[in-house]
């Protein structure tokens, strides 16, 4: 099995993927040039899985991933990984802070260390790279003097750490997803799952409200909503929704079927176990809402059983006057 | 009056601002190094207005602008501008396509011309710059060979156009906003206005639904919803909402007051005239939903008058047994 990840070697994405590799025995990991390239490799059959970042607690959604998820042929998330983010400043051996005239990072890395950079490397010119690891590679190549990136990149690129823990917000977490082609296996429900969808709707007042209502009236907690332009016209959007629950469960299944009736386009993007922040990090896990009374899986099962009993009564032709 | 804009000279932002400058007689425009810097200049009193991009029909929200809008002291949008986006490839005079080994652009410019670049400059290394105009400046300085940017930058930087109209999506539009300090004047209602807010809410099922319902039950069409991380914790967000209407109108005013009671934090980000795409562009303007029957401003006025009449009846002490 081949797993494409957002490369090059030494990215946070490789680090996140590494933390779950035990669950994919025999997998070979292969760096891709971008999240788009990783998803393209998956769709083309050059990889069986792709691991890409989808959301940061500091920088928000990763647009290329969201746009890539709704392309065709369809793909689904089968796993999420929460990685506490720790940035270091890596330099060629012997470089001091006074030597640093240029510093490179991915825009998210730059955004998460802006205050530190302004305070400690105020005169360094900041350059953007497609990934934090590409910044480390640029340091190794001599193109820039320092990289803001994952400390793990030091080993890959023969660099040393000028400073560690330089992120401005202490408890930043990035969420990664492992994606498969939609015709592969669906992860079994665990009881604490998340389901992701993307939907478009008619442009009329209350259209989005109606979508959210389909979840709320069934007690499904929506954990995330994002919009991305449909690209057809300013003011028209894909809505990306994450909800607590599994498509195999009654409440989520009913809500998704209702959306299928209601939305102009609907993509099922997967049901998969909800991850928590790994032990040892001070970063909080995402909040989990308590179940809504009367809307638990047991409540749904009891209601379905009651309905089934009603429908199981012997049927006969409707009584009433016969007009002949 | 000073208006800070996302610089340097030659950006789409300067072009957008230029299209409305007649409405700000005597204004002096001043480039800022970033959207954050433009909003900082406004807040510090170094400018009376700031013009920044907020949304692209291709690339979606501009995170730095949204994060900047909810900082303090408060600021409000007083004007929006829709600019059809036309990209050119600018080079130093005499450069041919075969000479182009490196091409620079802002990430949004790169994203909107990716297919063209892959087809016409497949071997060029793509570099990111903080703005499309900075890419043009980098060409002028000899740091890169070509820039994907606004054609207007050619004049500013003494470059020539290698190719024009290189955007992959024909009708891309970027939305810019002119922002003022919140203690300045509120634009008068025009009948076709937009109101922007940002809100946070408790993390429980249906919390966002309740916010949207406050608009929907009053017939207010929401034209946009975006989420940005609160930065405190993965899974907690600021919701940015745009709705059709003006805070001075009954329906919008009632909805905002309801949100004030309901939200954990609420920022009024302005009421301002809705812009359309300028004549001559093939790009469609954002869709406008028809008014909801029974929820027009006239309906609200009639209902308020009816309620007022009820409350204007002579009052007297409640009848009933007096316990003494």
- Decide: residue A236, CB within 10 A, 0-12 exposed, 13-18 middle, 19+ buried: middle
Asked, for residue A148, whether it belongs to a domain, the answer is yes
- Claim to verify: residue A8 and residue A79 sit in the same structural domain: yes
Model confidence at A260: pLDDT above 70: yes
- Claim to verify: residue A9 and residue A112 sit in the same structural domain: no
CA distance B166 to chain A (A): 16
CA distance A56 to chain B (A): 7
Domain end residue (candidates: B164, B199, B220) = B164
∠ CA A307-A311-A313, rounded to 5° = 125
Asked, for residue B279, whether it belongs to a domain, the answer is no
Secondary structure (DSSP) of B73-92: S-EEEEEEEEEE---EEEE-
DSSP label of A24: S
Asked, for residue A45, whether it belongs to a domain, the answer is yes
Segment (H or E) for A149: strand A146-149
In chain A, which residue's Cα lies nearest the Cα of B290?
A204
Task: State the distance between the two ends of chain B, measured CA to CA, in whole angstroms.
Answer: 69
- Claim to verify: residue A190 and residue A177 sit in the same structural domain: no
Selecting from A56, A220, A235 the residue whose C-beta is nearest the C-beta of B287 gives A235
Count of structural domains, chain B: 2
Asked, for residue A39, whether it belongs to a domain, the answer is yes
Condensed to tens digits (0 to 9), the pLDDT of residues B195-227 reads 999 999 987 778 899 999 999 999 999 999 999
Asked, for residue B71, whether it belongs to a domain, the answer is yes
Predicted pLDDT of residue A313: 83
Rounded to the nearest 5°, which phi and psi values hold at A108?
-65, -40
Selecting from A227, A231, A285 the residue whose C-beta is nearest the C-beta of B225 gives A227
Domain containing B149 — which CATH number?
3.40.190.10
Predicted pLDDT of residue B38: 96
Condensed to tens digits (0 to 9), the pLDDT of residues B116-154 reads 998 999 899 998 887 899 999 999 999 999 999 998 899
Average pLDDT over residues B104-123: 89
Helix and strand counts by DSSP (H, E) for chain A: 10, 15
Mutate to test the interface with B, among A65, A110, A211, A234 (most CBs of B within 10 A): A234
Secondary structure (DSSP) of B190-220: -SSEEEEEEEE--SSTTHHHHHHHHHHTTTP
- Claim to verify: residue B256 and residue B148 sit in the same structural domain: no
| A251-260, B63-72, B211-220, B225-234, range with the lowest pLDDT | B225-234
Asked, for residue B316, whether it belongs to a domain, the answer is no
Contacts of A196 (CB under 8 A, 6+ apart): A69, A77, A240, A241, A242, A269, A270
DSSP label of B6: E
Predicted pLDDT of residue B112: 86
Q: Cα(A256)–Cα(A241) distance, rounded to whole angstroms?
A: 11
pLDDT band at A253 (very low <50, low <70, confident <90, very high): very high
Asked, for residue A243, whether it belongs to a domain, the answer is yes
- Claim to verify: residue B182 and residue B105 sit in the same structural domain: no
- Claim to verify: residue A206 and residue A271 sit in the same structural domain: yes
Domain containing A215 — which CATH number?
3.30.70.260
Domain end residue (candidates: B136, B164, B192) = B164
pLDDT band at A149 (very low <50, low <70, confident <90, very high): very high
What range does the domain containing A3 cover?
A: 1-84+171-185
- Claim to verify: residue B59 and residue B158 sit in the same structural domain: no
Alpha-carbon torsion (A114, A120, A126, A131), positive or negative: negative
Tokens in use for A95? Answer: 């470089």
Buried/exposed code over B205-237 (b: 16+ C-beta within 10 A; e: otherwise): bbbbbbbbbbbbbbbbbbbbbbbbbbbebbbbb
Selecting from A63, A229, A284 the residue whose C-beta is nearest the C-beta of B233 gives A284
pLDDT band at B324 (very low <50, low <70, confident <90, very high): low
Domain end residue (candidates: A185, A219, A251) = A185
The two beta strands, B75-84 and B173-181, are antiparallel
- Claim to verify: residue A46 and residue A96 sit in the same structural domain: no
Contacts of B305 (CB under 8 A, 6+ apart): none
Cβ within 8 Å, pair B63-A59: yes
Cα pseudo-dihedral A238, B235, A271, A200, rounded to 10: -10
Give the closest residue to B70 by CA, choosing from B207, B268, B203, B297. B268
ipTM value, please give it: 0.80
> With contacts defined as CB-CB under 8 Å, which chain B residues touch A224?
227, 235, 237
Contacts of B141 (CB under 8 A, 6+ apart): none
- Claim to verify: residue A181 and residue A73 sit in the same structural domain: yes
Model confidence at A324: pLDDT above 60: no
Average model confidence (pLDDT) for chain A? 91
Average pLDDT over residues A251-270: 94
Model confidence at A283: pLDDT above 90: no
- Claim to verify: residue A34 and residue A144 sit in the same structural domain: no
∠ CA B275-B281-B285, rounded to 5° = 35
Asked, for residue B128, whether it belongs to a domain, the answer is yes
A217 close to A117: Cβ distance less than 8 angstroms:
no
Condensed to tens digits (0 to 9), the pLDDT of residues A50-71 reads 999 999 888 889 998 999 999 9
Selecting from B220, B228, B234 the residue whose C-beta is nearest the C-beta of A286 gives B234
Rounded to 10 deg, the angle between the A207-216 and B207-216 helix axes is 140
Mutate to test the interface with A, among B102, B144, B235, B244 (most CBs of A within 10 A): B235
- Claim to verify: residue B60 and residue B132 sit in the same structural domain: no
3-state class of B53 per DSSP? strand
- Claim to verify: residue B157 and residue B269 sit in the same structural domain: no
CA distance A317 to chain B (A): 43
A48 close to A127: Cβ distance less than 8 angstroms:
no
What percent of chain A has a predicted confidence (pLDDT) above 90?
A: 66
B105 close to B84: Cβ distance less than 8 angstroms:
no
The two beta strands, B60-61 and B88-91, are unpaired
Model confidence at B97: pLDDT above 90: yes
The two beta strands, A49-56 and A173-181, are antiparallel
Selecting from B208, B227, B233 the residue whose C-beta is nearest the C-beta of A57 gives B233
> With contacts defined as CB-CB under 8 Å, which chain B residues touch A175?
234
Phi-psi region of B60 (alpha: psi -120 to 50; beta: other; left: phi over 0): left
What percent of chain B has a predicted confidence (pLDDT) above 70?
A: 98
Highest-scoring range by mean pLDDT, A121-135, B8-22, B203-217 = B8-22
Q: How far is CA B230 from CA A21, B303, B313, in A?
A: 31, 39, 49
């Amino acid at each position: 099995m081949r797993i494409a990840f957002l490369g090059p070697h030494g990215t946070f994405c490789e680090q996140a993927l590494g933390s779950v590799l035990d669950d994919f025995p025999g997998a070979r990991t292969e760096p891709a040039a971008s999240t788009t390239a990783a998803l393209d490799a998956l769709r083309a059959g050059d990889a069986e899985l792709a691991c890409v970042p989808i959301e940061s607690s500091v920088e928000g959604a990763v647009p290329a991933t969201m746009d890539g998820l709704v392309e065709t042929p369809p793909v689904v998330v089968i796993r999420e990984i929460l990685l506490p983010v720790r940035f270091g400043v890596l330099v060629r051996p012997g470089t001091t802070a006074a030597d640093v005239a240029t510093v490179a990072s991915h825009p998210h890395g730059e955004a998460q260390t802006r205050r530190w950079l302004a305070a400690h490397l105020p005169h360094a010119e900041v350059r953007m790279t497609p990934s934090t690891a590409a910044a480390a590679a640029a340091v190794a190549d001599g193109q820039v003097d320092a990289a803001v990136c994952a400390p793990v990149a030091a080993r890959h690129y023969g660099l040393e750490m000028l400073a560690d823990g330089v992120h401005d917000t202490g408890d930043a977490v990035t969420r990664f997803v492992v994606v498969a082609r939609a015709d592969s296996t669906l992860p079994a429900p665990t009881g604490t799952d998340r389901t992701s969808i993307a939907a478009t709707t008619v442009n009329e007042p209350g259209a989005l409200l109606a979508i959210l209502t389909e979840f709320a009236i069934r007690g499904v907690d929506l954990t995330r909503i994002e919009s991305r332009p449909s690209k057809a016209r300013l003011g028209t959007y894909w809505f990306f929704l994450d909800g607590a629950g599994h498509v195999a469960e009654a409440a989520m299944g009913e809500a998704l079927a209702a959306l299928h009736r209601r939305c102009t386009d609907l993509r099922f993007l997967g049901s998969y176990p909800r991850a928590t922040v790994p032990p040892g990090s001070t970063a909080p896990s995402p909040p989990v809402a308590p179940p809504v009374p009367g809307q638990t899986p047991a409540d749904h099962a009891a209601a379905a059983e009651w309905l089934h009993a009603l429908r199981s009564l012997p049927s006969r032709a409707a009584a009433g006057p016969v007009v002949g």
